[in-house]
Amino acid sequence: MARVRRAPVLRYLLLALLAAVVGLNVYALNAERLAGNRLPMPFGYGAAVVLSGSMEPELSTGDLVIVGDGGPVEVGDVVVYQDGNLLVVHRVVETEGGVMVTKGDANNVADEPVAVSAVRGEVLASIPFLGTVVSWLKSPVGTVLVLAAAVMLLEAPRWAERRREEEERRAVLAEIERLKRELRR
Protein backbone atom coordinates (compact mmCIF):
# COMPACT_ATOMS: atom_id res chain seq x y z
CA MET A 1 0.00 0.00 0.00
CA ALA A 2 1.44 3.36 -0.99
CA ARG A 3 1.71 5.92 1.75
CA VAL A 4 1.26 9.59 1.25
CA ARG A 5 4.12 11.46 2.91
CA ARG A 6 3.34 14.88 4.15
CA ALA A 7 6.05 17.49 4.06
CA PRO A 8 7.88 17.65 7.39
CA VAL A 9 7.81 21.45 7.33
CA LEU A 10 8.08 21.88 11.09
CA ARG A 11 11.08 19.55 11.22
CA TYR A 12 12.85 21.49 8.47
CA LEU A 13 12.12 24.81 10.19
CA LEU A 14 13.53 23.48 13.46
CA LEU A 15 16.58 22.15 11.64
CA ALA A 16 17.10 25.53 9.98
CA LEU A 17 16.83 27.25 13.37
CA LEU A 18 19.29 24.80 14.93
CA ALA A 19 21.68 25.23 12.01
CA ALA A 20 21.49 29.01 12.45
CA VAL A 21 22.24 28.70 16.17
CA VAL A 22 25.24 26.45 15.54
CA GLY A 23 26.45 28.62 12.65
CA LEU A 24 26.22 31.80 14.71
CA ASN A 25 28.03 30.11 17.60
CA VAL A 26 30.86 29.05 15.30
CA TYR A 27 31.00 32.52 13.72
CA ALA A 28 31.07 34.27 17.11
CA LEU A 29 33.66 31.86 18.49
CA ASN A 30 35.94 32.42 15.49
CA ALA A 31 35.50 36.21 15.68
CA GLU A 32 36.37 36.18 19.36
CA ARG A 33 39.27 33.73 19.26
CA LEU A 34 40.89 34.77 16.01
CA ALA A 35 40.26 38.52 15.98
CA GLY A 36 39.59 39.32 19.64
CA ASN A 37 36.21 40.70 18.60
CA ARG A 38 33.66 40.06 21.37
CA LEU A 39 30.80 41.47 19.31
CA PRO A 40 30.86 40.40 15.68
CA MET A 41 28.47 42.48 13.61
CA PRO A 42 27.74 40.87 10.26
CA PHE A 43 25.76 43.23 8.03
CA GLY A 44 26.21 46.02 10.60
CA TYR A 45 24.13 44.41 13.37
CA GLY A 46 24.96 42.29 16.37
CA ALA A 47 23.56 41.13 19.68
CA ALA A 48 24.91 41.24 23.20
CA VAL A 49 23.67 39.99 26.53
CA VAL A 50 23.31 42.38 29.47
CA LEU A 51 25.33 40.86 32.30
CA SER A 52 24.67 43.32 35.13
CA GLY A 53 22.00 45.62 36.48
CA SER A 54 24.02 48.78 35.88
CA MET A 55 21.52 50.00 33.28
CA GLU A 56 18.36 49.40 35.35
CA PRO A 57 15.54 50.14 34.79
CA GLU A 58 16.05 50.49 31.02
CA LEU A 59 18.04 47.25 30.62
CA SER A 60 18.04 44.31 33.01
CA THR A 61 20.39 41.41 33.56
CA GLY A 62 19.63 38.75 30.96
CA ASP A 63 18.20 41.10 28.34
CA LEU A 64 19.40 40.69 24.77
CA VAL A 65 20.34 44.00 23.15
CA ILE A 66 20.36 44.47 19.41
CA VAL A 67 23.30 46.62 18.44
CA GLY A 68 23.61 48.61 15.24
CA ASP A 69 26.68 50.07 13.65
CA GLY A 70 25.56 53.60 14.50
CA GLY A 71 26.89 56.91 13.38
CA PRO A 72 28.81 59.35 15.54
CA VAL A 73 28.61 58.83 19.29
CA GLU A 74 26.46 61.44 21.00
CA VAL A 75 25.66 62.19 24.62
CA GLY A 76 22.62 60.17 25.68
CA ASP A 77 23.31 57.20 23.37
CA VAL A 78 23.39 53.76 24.96
CA VAL A 79 26.44 52.13 23.42
CA VAL A 80 28.29 48.85 23.61
CA TYR A 81 32.03 49.18 23.81
CA GLN A 82 34.80 46.66 24.23
CA ASP A 83 36.95 47.12 27.31
CA GLY A 84 39.70 44.51 27.01
CA ASN A 85 37.86 41.20 26.91
CA LEU A 86 34.57 42.61 28.24
CA LEU A 87 31.63 44.24 26.53
CA VAL A 88 30.14 47.17 28.42
CA VAL A 89 26.62 48.50 27.81
CA HIS A 90 26.38 52.03 29.21
CA ARG A 91 25.05 55.48 28.37
CA VAL A 92 27.37 58.15 26.97
CA VAL A 93 27.41 61.11 29.39
CA GLU A 94 30.23 63.15 27.87
CA THR A 95 32.30 63.26 24.68
CA GLU A 96 35.30 65.34 23.83
CA GLY A 97 37.42 64.73 20.77
CA GLY A 98 38.08 61.02 20.45
CA VAL A 99 37.28 60.23 24.09
CA MET A 100 33.96 59.56 25.81
CA VAL A 101 32.76 59.02 29.34
CA THR A 102 30.01 56.48 29.98
CA LYS A 103 27.91 55.62 32.99
CA GLY A 104 25.38 52.96 33.84
CA ASP A 105 21.97 54.47 34.59
CA ALA A 106 21.92 52.71 37.98
CA ASN A 107 25.52 53.64 38.83
CA ASN A 108 26.49 56.62 40.99
CA VAL A 109 29.90 57.08 39.39
CA ALA A 110 30.89 57.44 35.75
CA ASP A 111 33.27 54.98 34.11
CA GLU A 112 36.86 55.79 33.25
CA PRO A 113 37.15 57.69 29.94
CA VAL A 114 37.45 55.42 26.93
CA ALA A 115 38.32 56.00 23.29
CA VAL A 116 35.33 56.44 21.00
CA SER A 117 37.00 53.90 18.70
CA ALA A 118 36.23 51.20 21.30
CA VAL A 119 32.50 51.58 20.59
CA ARG A 120 31.16 48.51 18.80
CA GLY A 121 27.72 50.00 18.21
CA GLU A 122 24.64 51.67 19.57
CA VAL A 123 21.83 49.78 21.30
CA LEU A 124 18.82 49.84 18.98
CA ALA A 125 16.45 47.57 20.89
CA SER A 126 16.30 45.11 23.75
CA ILE A 127 14.43 41.86 24.23
CA PRO A 128 13.82 41.02 27.89
CA PHE A 129 15.14 37.66 29.18
CA LEU A 130 16.20 36.40 25.73
CA GLY A 131 19.83 37.02 26.59
CA THR A 132 19.63 34.29 29.22
CA VAL A 133 18.50 31.84 26.54
CA VAL A 134 21.22 33.01 24.14
CA SER A 135 23.89 32.65 26.82
CA TRP A 136 22.71 29.13 27.53
CA LEU A 137 22.70 28.22 23.82
CA LYS A 138 26.28 29.52 23.52
CA SER A 139 27.45 27.44 26.46
CA PRO A 140 29.10 24.06 25.79
CA VAL A 141 26.12 22.20 27.28
CA GLY A 142 23.66 24.23 25.21
CA THR A 143 25.62 23.68 22.02
CA VAL A 144 25.81 19.92 22.62
CA LEU A 145 22.07 19.78 23.33
CA VAL A 146 21.32 21.77 20.17
CA LEU A 147 23.44 19.36 18.13
CA ALA A 148 21.74 16.38 19.83
CA ALA A 149 18.34 17.86 18.98
CA ALA A 150 19.41 18.27 15.35
CA VAL A 151 20.50 14.63 15.19
CA MET A 152 17.21 13.54 16.74
CA LEU A 153 15.24 15.61 14.24
CA LEU A 154 17.19 14.06 11.38
CA GLU A 155 17.11 10.48 12.65
CA ALA A 156 13.67 10.20 14.27
CA PRO A 157 11.82 9.85 10.95
CA ARG A 158 14.27 7.15 9.86
CA TRP A 159 13.72 5.26 13.10
CA ALA A 160 9.95 5.51 12.64
CA GLU A 161 10.26 4.28 9.03
CA ARG A 162 12.40 1.31 10.11
CA ARG A 163 9.83 0.47 12.79
CA ARG A 164 7.01 0.58 10.21
CA GLU A 165 9.00 -1.60 7.81
CA GLU A 166 9.69 -4.12 10.59
CA GLU A 167 5.99 -4.22 11.50
CA GLU A 168 5.09 -4.75 7.84
CA ARG A 169 7.69 -7.51 7.55
CA ARG A 170 6.32 -9.24 10.62
CA ALA A 171 2.77 -8.91 9.30
CA VAL A 172 3.83 -10.47 5.96
CA LEU A 173 5.62 -13.33 7.76
CA ALA A 174 2.59 -13.92 9.97
CA GLU A 175 0.36 -14.01 6.88
CA ILE A 176 2.72 -16.50 5.19
CA GLU A 177 2.63 -18.73 8.28
CA ARG A 178 -1.17 -18.48 8.38
CA LEU A 179 -1.40 -19.44 4.70
CA LYS A 180 0.99 -22.40 5.25
CA ARG A 181 -1.18 -23.66 8.12
CA GLU A 182 -4.28 -23.25 5.97
CA LEU A 183 -2.69 -25.23 3.10
CA ARG A 184 -1.75 -28.08 5.45
CA ARG A 185 -5.38 -28.67 6.39
d(CA 173, CA 157): 24
Annotation marks residue 52 as catalytic: yes
Sheet holding 99-103, edge to edge: 45-49, 64-68, 119-127, 78-83, 86-96, 99-103, 114-115
The active-site residue, picked from 52, 60, 117, 135, is 52
d(CA 70, CA 43): 12
The catalytic residue positions are 52
